[in-house]
Chain A
Amino acid sequence: MKKIFTYSFLILLVALGGCDKFLDRQPLDSISSETFLATEQEMELGLNGVYAASFWALANNTPLHFAIESATDLAIKRTGNSEDQVAMGDGGPFLVGNGLTSTAWSQAYKLVSRANYLLDGMKKGQAAAAPKTYSRIRAEGLVLRAWAYYHLIGWFGDPIFYTKPLLPSEYETLSRTPVATAAQELYKDLDEAASLFDAAGASPIILYGRVNKGVALGLKAKLAMLIKDNKTAAAASKAVIDMNAYGLNPRYTDLFMLAGQRNNANREILFAQTYPTDVLDPQNWLAVLTIPRQVGTSQSSHFPSQALFDRYEMKDGKRIDQSAQYDPKNPSANRDNRLKWTIYSQGDTMVHNTAKSPSLPYVQPKERTIYNIYTNVRIKWNWSTNKYDNVASNIDWIGFLNSPWFAGSTGSSGGVGYVWSKYIDSTQYSWETKTGYILMRYADVLLTYAEAKIELNEIDPTVFTAINAVRARAGQPAVTTGTQAALRELIRRERAVELAGEGVRLMDLRRWDIYNKAMTGPVVGVSLNLTDPAAAPSFDADGVPNYTATLAKRLKTRNQTRENTNAKYKLWPIPQGELDKNPNLKQNPGW
C-alpha cells in the first residue's frame, strides 16, 4: 500500500511536470488567429477576407474611387460633402479631419493589415498545401497589398510600410517609409506575384473580381508611373500587352453594364470591385448618386464637370477650340462618341430605372427624359401614350438661371448642366444595381504603356498602336505622328476622356504635377444662354482648360472657386488621430 501510494504520488508529480502540453489549449469552436490558415481551404477563406477589405466604399454605397473622382477636376460633388471640401481646397475648407481622406486612409490600411495576416499566417500551412494553390493565393495576397500601398502612396505620399502582423506593443512605433524605398519593395512583391501566377498556371484571369498576373504587372506599371519610373512602367505594361491575354471590348458601353461585365469581351476588365447578384446588399449606387432628383428617387449628388465635357475631341480628332466642327450653340454635336457614353447634356435622352417594378427583371417602369435645362419644363416620356409629356416643376435644374445655381441649402443639385451616363444601366433598378466598379482595364494598360514610352521619348509604332486601339473603338481618327510634347498633351486628354469617372484621375493629376493648377479656378458650367453661348475655352500645354474669357457667359455653380494653389494640396493630410497616437508619424508638409 505504501508503495502504491508513493508511486502514485510520484506519477502525479510527473504528470504535473508535463505542463506545457497540458496548458496548450486553443480555441475549439471558432477560427482562431493562432491556428487559422493551416489548410488550403482556410487560405482560400482568408484570401476572400482580404478581397473583402479591397471593397472600398463610402456611405450610400459609393465606391471610394468614384467618390475620389468627384474630388478632381473632371467631376463635382454636391456642396458641403467631404469630397467637395477636398475639391474646394482652401474654400472647402479641406481640413485634416476630412471624411473622404480619413476613410481612404483607414480602408486602404485595413487591406494592408488583412493581407499581412494572410501572407504571414498561411506560411504555417505551406507544407500541407498544394504548391500551385499556395502560389496563387500568395500571389493574390501580394497584389492586393500592393494595390493598397499604390493608393496610399498616391494619396498620402510616404506610407507606413509594414508587411507583417504587428503586436500591440509595436503599433505606435511605426514611422513613414520614403516612397522610393517602399516602391522598390512593391516592385519585388509584384514581380514575385507575376511569377507565382505563372507557377500556379493561373496567369491571365482567374475569376471576375480576382487579381491576376495582368493586374500584378499593370499595377506595377501604374506604381512606376506614379513615381515617374517610366522605364519600369513601360516594361511592365508591355509585359501585360505581351501576355496576349487581354484586349479591348468592342462595345465601350458594355464595360459599364452588368451583362457586359459578365461577358467581359476580350477580358478588357482586369480587376473590378464586384457586387453580389445572389443577395440584396451591397449595391453599387452610382446610378442613385448621379440620377437627378426630379427623375425619380435618387440623390443628385455627383456630376461631371465642364472641364471634362470640353476635353472630348470633335469627330475630326481635334480639340473643340481648334476644330471648325465645334458649335457653341450645340456643344455636344459632332463630338467623340465617348462624350455621350459618359455624359448626358442638354437635349440628350436619358433613360433611368428609378422605381422598382413588381417582378423581375426590373425593366419597367423606366424614366425616359429629355435633358432640358433651359426651360422650366421636364420633357418626360409617357409610357402609356408613347409620347413625351411636358411636365412643369423642373426644379432640379431650372431656377438657378436667375440666381446662382443651388446656392441655397437644398443641395438637391450642384451640377453644372451635366449628368453622368457612364455606369447608367437601366436594365437594373437603380437602388439595387449590381454593376461592378472597374478598378483596372486593358485600355488603361495600353494608355499607360503609350504614356511611359512618350515620356521616355521612345516614340515608336507600338505607341501609336496602343493609343489608336483605344481611339478606334470610340471612332476617333488614328494618330500617326507627333512631337513628344504634342503626344503628351494628347495622351493626357485621351486618359481623361477614356477613363473619366473611373477613379484614376487623381493619380494622373498628381504624377503630372498639375493638381494645383487643374484644381484651381471657378466651378463653371454650361452657357447661361444658348443664343449667346460661351465660346470654347483655351487650353494650356498640359491640356488644362481656361475659362477666364468666357466666365460671364457661363454658369458658375454656387459662385464658388476651387482654391488649391497651396503646395500642401499635392498630398492629402494624414488623419490627426493617427498622429496623436503615434508621435513617430510626421504630417505631410504644409498641413
Chain B
Amino acid sequence: MKKLTLILTMLCTTWLLGFSQQSRISGKVTSSEGGAPAEGVSVLVKGTKKGTRTNSAGEFTINASTGQTLVLSGIGFSSKEVLVNGNQLDITLASTSSSLNEVVVVGYGTQKKANLTGSVVALKQEDLLKRQVATASNLLQGLAPGVTVTQQSGRPGADGASIRIRGLSSIYAGQSPLIMVDGVVSSLDAIDPNAIESITILKDAASTAIYGTRAANGVILVKTIRAKGKGVKVSYNSFVSKQIATAMPERTTAIEHMELSNVAEQNRTGSPTAFLFQQSLIDKYKTTKANNLDVIDNDWVDLLFTNSALMQNHNVTLNSGGENTNVFTSVTYLDQQGLIPNNSYKRYDIRFNPDFKLRKNLTLSGVFNYNFSKNTSPSTSSPEFIIRQAIGLPAIGAAKFGPGMYGTAGQTNNRNPLAQAEAAGTSVSENNSFLSKIALNYKPIESLELEAYWSREHWTPHGKTFTKNADIYVPNLVTSAYDKISQWPGSTSLGESYSSNTRNTMLAQATFTQNFGNHRLKLLAGGQSEEFLYEGISASRTGFNNPDQPYLNLGAADRNNAGSAYQTALAGFYARLNYSFDDKYLLEVNGRYDGSSRFSQALNKQWGFFPSASAGWIFSKEKFFDGLSDLISFGKIRASYGLLGNQALPEIYPFAVNYQTSTYSNPNNGTSTYLNNVTTLGYALLDAPNPGITWENSAQMNVGVDLTVKRNLTLTFDYYKRTISDILLVRPIPSYIGLSAPFVNAGDMTNTGWEVSANYKANISKKFKLDATLMLSDVVNEVTALPGVPYLDAGSERSAVGQALWSYFGYQSIGYFKDASDITSSPVQFGVPYSATTANGPKPGDVKYADIGGPDGKPDGIIDAFDRTFIGNSFPRYEYSVNLNLSYANFDLNLFGQGVGMRKNYLSGTGAIPFNSSDFVASLLSIHKDYWTPTNTNATFPRLLPSGSGGTNFVASDKWIRSAAYFRIKNINLGYRLPSSVINRLKITGAKVYVSGQNLLTFTDTWNGFDPEINSQTGQFYPLMKTFTVGVNLNF
C-alpha cells in the first residue's frame, strides 16, 4: 500500500506540473468507422512538448491557446492536425486499420488490440453467428489458430466440441480451457450463441497467468451483449435446419450377408462345402420379395432413422437504451431433433442484462440468465450403441412386424435397436439453471476505476431413466401371423436423480490508468473468490406395472437410494501492470497469488504464485521505418513468458483418499472382519493418500509478430513452447506400503507449435467487399518424462517418453500371406505355426506382421507383443481453415472451410471387423466385400472369417490406422438484406434472409461412411450432421 501511495503522489505531482496559464481545452475523439471512441490517441500541441492521450471514452483535456494546433495520432488512425478554436473540440479521426483499434476483452479488463503483447484471438458476434449450431463450442472451430476444436458426436444435446488450446497438456487432469462468461466460470455449451457479444481466447502465459491455477490450458472469455445507443430496438432471429448424417457406412443385403457368411465359414473350416445358410434359403431370397415373414431383408439404419432431425431456433432480443438505463433482453427457444426416435434436445434461454447509471461515475449492472434444457434419449442403451447395432446387425434379423411388434433382430437375447429406441423407455435429463450477477463500477477520480461483483448461479439437474418392456414377436410360418414370445428387456425400472449445484463468485478490483507524457501506465489489482457447492440424491426401483406411470412410488422392488455432496473453493489475488512508452515499447507484467481448496491446508499446499511478463515493440513506429510505412503500416514483435497451474485434478479432494468398505474380505482389498463368525463392517484405506499433491505446473514461452501490409493485409505469426511439469502419474510403489499407488506429481511433457493467420480485407468497389482469412497451425506433443513408469497403456494407445501422448501402439503389417510357403518362411505369428489341417493359425489371406523386435529388442523370428511399435496418433496436425466473406450490394456470402493436414484414426470393432462378435451377432459392411481371395490379393480386408474367428487379423496394427486428414466445407451462408424500399413498406428497420449449409462437402481418405473428425472409430458413434438451414433476421 505504501508503494501505491508513493506512485500516486508522484503521478499527481507530474500532473500538477503540467498546468500553465493557458486555457483548458477538452475534446472527444471518435473513429470514422462506427463513431466509436478512439482511445489512446496522442494529442500534442504542435511545436511544444505538451501532450496527452485520450481515455477510454476518447476524451482528453489539454492546456492550449486558441490558434495553436493540436496534432492527433494514434495506432490505426491517420494523423490529423486540428486548429484550437474553442474550449470543446469534437474530432473524428479517419480509421486506417480498424481492427487494431478494437478494444478486446482480456483477463479482468480490456486492452487495445494494437497494444496486446500476448497471444490473443478476439472474435465478435458477427464472426460467430454465421454458423447455425446448437452449441457454442462448435462455433470456435477453425476461427482461432492453435485452438483445436473437435466435435465427436452429432447427438442432440451432446454435440458440443472439445476444445484444446495449443495441444494436450495432461494425462489424468483436465485439459479443457477455463471458460469465463461475464467473469463467471461457465461452459460454452451452456450459453445461447445469440447473446454472445465477443469471445476472447487467451493462448499464451502472458495472457492467462492472471488466472493462476486454472490458466494452464488457456482461457476463453465470453462477454454477453449489453444494450448500446438510445431508443428501443427489437430483433427477431430464427432458423430452421434439416440435419443429415455426414457419413454412414453402407450395409449389406440379406443375400450378401448369407452368401458371405458361407464364404467365411468355408474359409474357417477349409471345406469348400461348409455353410451357415443353406443354398435353398439363399435361392428363396433371390426369388421371393422380402415379406417380413420368411424372407426378411431389413435396412436397419433406414428403419431406425425415422426422427425428423430438424433443428429450429427462435430468438428475440430487445435493446433498450435510455438516459440512465440500458437493458438488453434476449429470449431463445431451441429444439433439436435427432436421427432416431426419442432423441432430442430442447433449450429455453432468457437473459436480462441491465445497466443503471446511478451517478455520473457510478454504474450498477446486472446479468440475469435463466436457462432450461431437456435432453431425451432411449433408456436401455446409448443412442451411439443403438446406431452401432443398426450398422452392424444382419439384414435377415427381424425388426418390426407392426405397431409395438418387434422382432428378435436375430439375437438370442432379443435386443432389437428399434425396440430400444421406440418402445423401451427414455432417459430424460432436465436442467434448470439461474444465474444472477450484480456489479458496481465506480470511478471516484478519472484515473481510478473500482469494480466489484457478486454472482450466484444455481442449477438443479434432474435425471429420469425409465425402462419398460417392448413386446418381441416371431413369425409363425404356419399361421402366417406373429407370435409374441417374450418381452425385452424383461423388467421395468426407474432411476431418478436430483442435484443442487451452486457457484458463488465474488470479485473486487481497482484499475488505475494514468498517462504522463509519452508514458502510459495502467495498474490493475484485485481479488476474487469462488466456491462451488454440490449436493445430490438419487433413487431407483424396479417392478413397474404401468408403463405410463413412471413414478417411484409405483415400483415394487429393489428400492435403492443414495446421496452425495462435495464442495470446492478458490481464492486469488491478482495484479497487472501495463506500461508503454511512446506507443512503441510495450510491457506487461501479470501475477496471481492463487489458493485452491483442492490441496492440503495442513501441509500449506493451497497457495501458489503464477507470474508472467510480456513485451512488445511496435517497430513500424520507429523513425527508421518511415520509408517502409506504405508497405508495412503496422509491425509489432512480441514475446512472453509465464508460469501457470492446472488445479483440475481428477479428484475433488486429491489430498485425501476415502476409507472404503466392502462386506467381502479378501486378502487384497477386504475391509470387513468376521468376529464371532458374523460379518463385521470395517473401513480401510486401499489407496495411498498423497496429502502433498499439488497442481500441475507449466511454463509457456511465446514469440509473435503482427504485421499490417498495405493497410489491408494483416498477418500474425506465433511460435510457442509449453513445458508442462508435475503431471500427475500413478507410479508403482513398493508393496510394503500396503496400499495402491497414489497420484504423484512427476511427469513432464512439451507442446511446441506455431500459428499463422492472414486476413485480407478489401472494398473492391463500393458495393463489393471482400474479407478473407487463412489460418494454419501445428503443434507437436512429446512426453518428456514419466519417472518410475515405463509407459502407460490404454487399449490400443500408449504413452511413453519421446512419443506424443496416447499414441497408437501396435503391430506393423506387411500385406497378406500369399500362400502356405509364405507362412512357413515367415516369422511364427503369435506362437501358432502353420497347419494346413487345423483351423487355427495363419492361412493365406491373413495379415502378415513384421518381426521388428524381441525380448532383447532384436527381431527374434517370432511375432509377439515385442513386435509392437508406435504407429501414429489421433491429435490433429497442420490444422487449417479458409474463411471467405464476400458481400455485394445486399447479398453476403460466407464460405468457410476447415481441414486437418495430418492425423491418424484407428478403426476397430463393428467398423473394421466383418461379423464383429462383440456385443451382438453381426453382419458385415459393404466395404468388407473387398476381402482377400487368391485372385484378389490387393484387397482392403483379409480373408473373410466368421464371427469371433478373425484370428490375429484385427489386433491393433497400422493396417487399421487410416489417415483421417480431411478438408471440409464447414459452412456456406448466403444472406440477402432486404432493400430499404421493402423495409420501409414493412415498417421495420432491417431484414435479412439467409440460407446456409454445414459440413456439405468433405475430402478425405478415410473409408467411406466413417467421418474423419470422429476419433478411434469402433462403429459406435452418433454421426456428425450435414445441415441445411433457412433463416431470417428482422429488426424493428
Write the residues of chain A forming the contact surface with B, with a CB cutoff of 8 angstroms.
1-2, 5, 8-9, 12-13, 15-16, 19-20, 22-36, 42, 45-58, 64, 102-103, 105-107, 109-114, 117, 160, 165-169, 171-172, 174, 207-210, 258, 262, 274-279, 281-282, 434, 436, 575, 577-578, 581-582
Contact A22 B677 (CB under 8 A): no
Q: In angstroms, how far is the closest chain B Cβ from the Cβ of A46?
A: 6
Measured CB to CB, the nearest residue on chain A to B665 is A52
Residues of B within 8 A of A53 (CB): 670, 684, 738
Interface window among B305-313, B651-659, B797-805 = B651-659
Q: In angstroms, how far is the closest chain B Cβ from the Cβ of A174?
A: 7
Bound-state CA distance A311–B674 (Å) is 35
Known: A52-B684, A209-B674. A9 touches B738 (CB 8 A): no
Q: Which of B341-366 contact A (CB under 8 A)?
A: 358-359, 362
Bound-state CA distance A58–B666 (Å) is 9
Contact A13 B508 (CB under 8 A): yes
Q: Does B664 contact A (CB under 8 A)?
A: yes
Interface window among B105-113, B595-603, B764-772, B964-972 = B595-603
Q: Does B4 contact A (CB under 8 A)?
A: no
Measured CB to CB, the nearest residue on chain A to B670 is A52
Known: A49-B659, A53-B684. A23 touches B595 (CB 8 A): yes
Residues of B within 8 A of A58 (CB): 667
Measured CB to CB, the nearest residue on chain A to B603 is A167
Q: Which of B569-588 contact A (CB under 8 A)?
A: 569-571, 573
Contact B452 A49 (CB under 8 A): no
Bound-state CA distance A276–B658 (Å) is 25
Bound-state CA distance A276–B680 (Å) is 9
Contact A48 B682 (CB under 8 A): yes
Contact B677 A1 (CB under 8 A): no
Residues of A within 8 A of B666 (CB): 55, 57, 281-282
Contact B685 A117 (CB under 8 A): yes
Contact B529 A16 (CB under 8 A): yes
Residues of B within 8 A of A102 (CB): 735
Residues of B within 8 A of A281 (CB): 664, 666
Q: Does B688 contact A (CB under 8 A)?
A: yes
Contact B735 A45 (CB under 8 A): no
Nearest 4 Cβ contacts at the A-B interface: A48-B682, A113-B738, A49-B684, A51-B673
Provide the B995-1015 mask, 1 if CB < 8 A to any CB of A, else 0. 000000000000000000000
Write the residues of chain B forming the contact surface with A, with a CB cutoff of 8 angstroms.
358-359, 362, 440, 442, 444, 450, 452, 506-508, 527-529, 531, 563-571, 573, 595-597, 600-602, 606, 652-653, 655-661, 663-667, 670-685, 688-692, 732-739, 742, 744, 788
Known: A9-B450, A25-B597, A107-B667. 6 other contacts (CB 8 A): A31-B658, A34-B653, A48-B673, A49-B682, A581-B734, A582-B734
Choose among A28, A45, A49, A276 the residue that contacts B674 (Cβ–Cβ < 8 A): A276
Choose among A20, A55, A167 the residue that contacts B673 (Cβ–Cβ < 8 A): A55
Bound-state CA distance A578–B738 (Å) is 12
Residues of B within 8 A of A23 (CB): 569-571, 595-597, 601, 606
Residues of B within 8 A of A32 (CB): 653, 656-659
Q: In angstroms, how far is the closest chain B Cβ from the Cβ of A505?
A: 21
Contact A105 B735 (CB under 8 A): yes
Contact A56 B678 (CB under 8 A): no
Contact A46 B676 (CB under 8 A): no
Measured CB to CB, the nearest residue on chain A to B564 is A29
Contact B506 A160 (CB under 8 A): no
Residues of B within 8 A of A42 (CB): 683
Residues of B within 8 A of A20 (CB): 601
Contact A168 B692 (CB under 8 A): yes
Residues of A within 8 A of B744 (CB): 168
Contact B676 A160 (CB under 8 A): no
Choose among A33, A55, A581 the residue that contacts B665 (Cβ–Cβ < 8 A): A55
Bound-state CA distance A433–B874 (Å) is 54
Measured CB to CB, the nearest residue on chain A to B571 is A19
Residues of A within 8 A of B679 (CB): 276, 278-279
Known: A105-B736, A279-B663. A16 touches B506 (CB 8 A): yes
Bound-state CA distance A274–B691 (Å) is 35
Known: A5-B362, A168-B733, A282-B664. A277 touches B678 (CB 8 A): yes
Residues of A within 8 A of B738 (CB): 53, 106, 109-114
Measured CB to CB, the nearest residue on chain B to A167 is B692
Contact A48 B671 (CB under 8 A): yes
Query: Which of A51, A52, A160 is packed against the most chain B CB atoms within 10 Å?
Result: A52
Contact B670 A55 (CB under 8 A): yes
Contact B595 A9 (CB under 8 A): no
Contact A24 B601 (CB under 8 A): yes
Q: In angstroms, how far is the closest chain B Cβ from the Cβ of A311?
A: 31
Residues of B within 8 A of A46 (CB): 659, 682-684
Bound-state CA distance A171–B688 (Å) is 11
9 contacts between A and B (CB under 8 A): A9-B452, A22-B531, A27-B653, A48-B672, A50-B684, A102-B735, A106-B736, A274-B676, A581-B788
Q: In angstroms, how far is the closest chain A Cβ from the Cβ of B246?
A: 42
Residues of B within 8 A of A29 (CB): 563-566
Contact A275 B508 (CB under 8 A): no
Q: In angstroms, how far is the closest chain B Cβ from the Cβ of A448?
A: 25
Residues of A within 8 A of B676 (CB): 207-209, 262, 274
Bound-state CA distance A8–B682 (Å) is 50
Residues of A within 8 A of B597 (CB): 22-25
Contact B531 A45 (CB under 8 A): no
Residues of A within 8 A of B680 (CB): 48, 51
Residues of A within 8 A of B440 (CB): 5, 8
Bound-state CA distance A50–B596 (Å) is 33
Contact A109 B736 (CB under 8 A): yes
Bound-state CA distance A165–B272 (Å) is 68
Bound-state CA distance A311–B562 (Å) is 60
Measured CB to CB, the nearest residue on chain B to A574 is B736
Query: Which of B564, B677, B737 is packed against the most chain A CB atoms within 10 Å?
Result: B737
Residues of A within 8 A of B660 (CB): 31
Known: A27-B653, A34-B655, A168-B692. A160 touches B359 (CB 8 A): no
Contact A33 B657 (CB under 8 A): yes
Query: Which of B566, B568, B571, B736 is packed against the most chain A CB atoms within 10 Å?
Result: B736
Q: In angstroms, how far is the closest chain B Cβ from the Cβ of A116?
A: 8
Residues of B within 8 A of A436 (CB): 677
Bound-state CA distance A76–B341 (Å) is 66
Residues of B within 8 A of A207 (CB): 675-676
Residues of B within 8 A of A24 (CB): 597, 601
Contact B659 A166 (CB under 8 A): no
Residues of A within 8 A of B736 (CB): 105-106, 109, 112-113, 160, 174, 578
Measured CB to CB, the nearest residue on chain A to B451 is A9
Q: In angstroms, how far is the closest chain A Cβ from the Cβ of B645?
A: 15
Bound-state CA distance A110–B563 (Å) is 31
Residues of A within 8 A of B529 (CB): 15-16, 19, 22
Q: In angstroms, how far is the closest chain A Cβ from the Cβ of B499?
A: 12
Q: In angstroms, how far is the closest chain A Cβ from the Cβ of B84?
A: 35
Contact B688 A168 (CB under 8 A): yes
Residues of B within 8 A of A275 (CB): 674, 677
Contact B573 A51 (CB under 8 A): no
Measured CB to CB, the nearest residue on chain A to B679 is A276
Contact B675 A51 (CB under 8 A): yes
Contact A274 B659 (CB under 8 A): no
Contact A168 B653 (CB under 8 A): no
Residues of A within 8 A of B684 (CB): 46, 49-50, 52-53, 114, 117
Known: A19-B571, A26-B656. A48 touches B683 (CB 8 A): yes
Residues of A within 8 A of B595 (CB): 19, 23
Residues of B within 8 A of A5 (CB): 362, 440, 442, 450, 452
Residues of B within 8 A of A105 (CB): 735-736
Q: In angstroms, how far is the closest chain A Cβ from the Cβ of B369?
A: 23
Contact A22 B569 (CB under 8 A): yes
Bound-state CA distance A277–B566 (Å) is 37
Bound-state CA distance A210–B674 (Å) is 9
Bound-state CA distance A165–B690 (Å) is 11
Q: In angstroms, how far is the closest chain A Cβ from the Cβ of B670?
A: 5
